[in-house]
Structure 1
């Protein structure tokens, strides 16, 4: 069985849409796109066995998640879960909850069916706020200590990771902290001399008790750093092959097989998480989005948002070794 990576020849840009963020549903072949001006568009893949359907041909549903009482110009992040803050079935406005004690939100994560965590990169003290559906104000605050570059939630071990960069005596440093959402203090803190880390993600393999718990970060110098949280010391490794510009986003596929990363110049790289070997590489349009990448729940589709507010789709095709038309990467 060989694997082929195919990038969709068409994108939602064909409809002159300006997409600021996108997120695949964790289980269904549905892509949510936040469009400038407030609306959210849902795209559902039609049934098509053995063929690729361009994203522009997916079934579209449009709804306005925020009423005119709360006008917005853009949505900085989208996340799916079984409990939604925006409920598309509610009329006339699907807005379920609006948190009043919040600055600009750069990213949000569901940490349970009724709780979510969010943060703002504009805060110099780096506060992660925990909110409860049904309560207007945050119920808990985790103080990172520096302006946060990235936060990611690991639902398998119920932990948050946050990372920041700072300069001491002319040297760049990175601070990675691991949090339990039920404790005010971090359960682990790692500080090291390192180029700025702008994005992180978790890797938890099957039989997690027997496998290392990893956090991977994308750096401003184009390298990728891998922390092993099981080690008592500051164990890490660097991957220097691939990017030549600052990595703006990276994420693992839900099946934990692939690691996708994209840099400021639009270079997209997909690696095998097993040994970090590159298996696919292509050049897209420059990307400055903090959350530019989103994997489908089936781990065979990767959505990309670039600096021109376009959405592209990379699909992974599995071909039999007996298929004469196969082309592996």
Structure 2
């Protein structure tokens, strides 16, 4: 069982407070870009290019392109060549691991895949309606660029997960996992052929492609989120009973856990940086964010930021930042170096924030708003450097 370490900052910690004031005022800058009257329900950055895809209520995709990742988002330009009409508005969106495909799930159960070729922009879509109701999530396999899974509540209100093969050389191929559960909270690829699925009944189902029923079952009462920790090669799950567990994929049993005092609604993982511990971040019902230093067998709490339940936590790809979002839809960005708050922002009343998406270079964070705008928060120091460079070239 991990032990709680001293919190990284308190109200009377003068050094940390000075650091908070300095970085919190200067580190991030917010830009907004309107997209007419259409609503943005999800957005996703390309894994290697300065491209942001937005899924719209019209059933189409709008791309925004930048000259490079450091270019201010206000200077990124819309590209409307990337449009295929779907029969319903787009609910969820995801790029595959190499950015050659973009999958979208729609409210009417349709799944669409665009084959993205940046050189000649030739797009070959496939579109199918195998789900009966809204698609809640699409997740690509990070070991196989052709494979992804989609989730919805379908016939008889039982949950199904569909696994799709988007190989250009084949007609679309889809297989169905019959889970026999009323609700799936979350799912995650844990290998090139295997999924971990958290269910309403408190089970983690391990499912394999080519089989229509789970191959094993792990028990974690109240389990909510599941994640794959690449550095540790373990499954991570969090629960509304206040526990986080780390599971061996091979032995199908937990190999570590911590118990907290509040319900846990979200979890995210980051790998081992040079000389530092593997990290697991979690968001709690009381507004606390807890950081578990797994390999050091200790955890710490980050207080004073949120006053409502934390529903999303997300590490930046480089591990330097952690974004957290609460039920009041207050966004906080923490430095993982010293765990001080470097930025915070509260949404307007008219918006409904949902997904939090980092770009691959960790200097931009996008949030879909269920409104006509997508919010992008960007590192202000790189933003200013880009402006200075542009002015030097034009002078």
- Specify the alignment match of 2:31 in structure 1: 8
Aligned to 1:226: 291
> 1: CA distance between counterparts of 2:218 and 2:203?
6
Deviations 1:84-126 (A, max 9, x none): 2245665997454432336443333222233232223xx23x2
Q: Is the 8 A contact 2:264 2:282 kept in 1?
A: yes
Partner of 1:217: 282
- Give the direction of change, closer, same or farther, for the CA distance of 1:140–1:198 in structure 2 (3 Å limit): same
1:241 alignment partner in structure 2: 304
Q: Which residue of 2 aligns with 1:135?
A: 211
Alignment of 1:147-186 (within 5 A): 147-166=222-241, 174-186=242-254
C-alpha separation in 1, matches of 2:296 and 2:219:
24
Cα gap change, 1:127/1:6 in structure 2, threshold over 3 Å: closer, same or farther?
same
Aligned twin of 2:337: 274
Q: TM-score, normalised by structure 2?
A: 0.65
1:187 corresponding residue in structure 2: 255
Q: 2:266 aligns with which of 196, 199, 217?
A: 199
The match for 1:17 is: 39
TM-score by length of 1: 0.77
Q: Is the 2:32–2:374 contact (alpha carbons within 8 Å) kept by the matching residues of 1?
A: no
Question: Partners of 1:307 and 1:129 in 2: how far apart?
Answer: 32
CA contact (8 A) 1:293 1:304 kept: yes
Q: Which runs of 5+ in 2 are unaligned?
A: 1-22, 85-103, 105-110, 113-126, 149-163
Question: Pick from 299, 321, 325: which aligns with 1:262?
Answer: 325
Equivalent pairs counted in the alignment come to: 305
> 2 CA distance for matches of 1:195 and 1:258?
24
Q: Note if contact 1:118-1:130 (Cα within 8 Å) is conserved in structure 2.
A: yes
Shift of residue 279 of structure 1?
A: 1.2
1:223 CA drift (Å): 1.5
Name the CA distance, whole Å, in 2 between partners of 1:322 and 1:308: 29
User: SS where residue 8 of structure 1 aligns?
Assistant: strand
For residues 308 and 102 of structure 1, what CA distance do their matches in structure 2 show?
35
Q: Deviations over 1:142-182 (max 9, x none)?
A: 221x121222221122111111133xxxxxxx111101222
* 1:270 and 1:280 in contact (8 A); partners too: yes
State which of 56, 73, 95 in structure 2 corresponds to 1:52.
Answer: 73
> CA contact under 8 A between 2:40 and 2:54: conserved in structure 1?
no
Q: Name the one with the larger helix percent.
A: 2
Q: Provide the rounded CA distance (Å) in 1 between the counterparts of 2:171 and 2:62.
A: 17
More moved, 274-283 vs 39-48:
39-48
Provide the rounded CA distance (Å) in 2 between the counterparts of 1:201 and 1:246: 16
CA distance in 1, matches of 2:31, 2:190: 33
Q: C-alpha separation between the residues in 2 aligned to 1:143 and 1:118?
A: 11
CA displacement at 1:202 relative to structure 2: 1.8
- How far is the alpha carbon of 1:15 from its aligned partner? 4.7
Alignment of 1:60-75 (within 5 A): 60-62=82-84, 64-65=111-112, 67-75=128-136
Specify the SS of the correspondent of 1:112.
Answer: coil
Instruction: For residue 264 of structure 1, report the CA deviation from its aligned partner.
Output: 1.1
Verify the 8 A CA contact 2:28 2:343 in the aligned structure 1.
yes
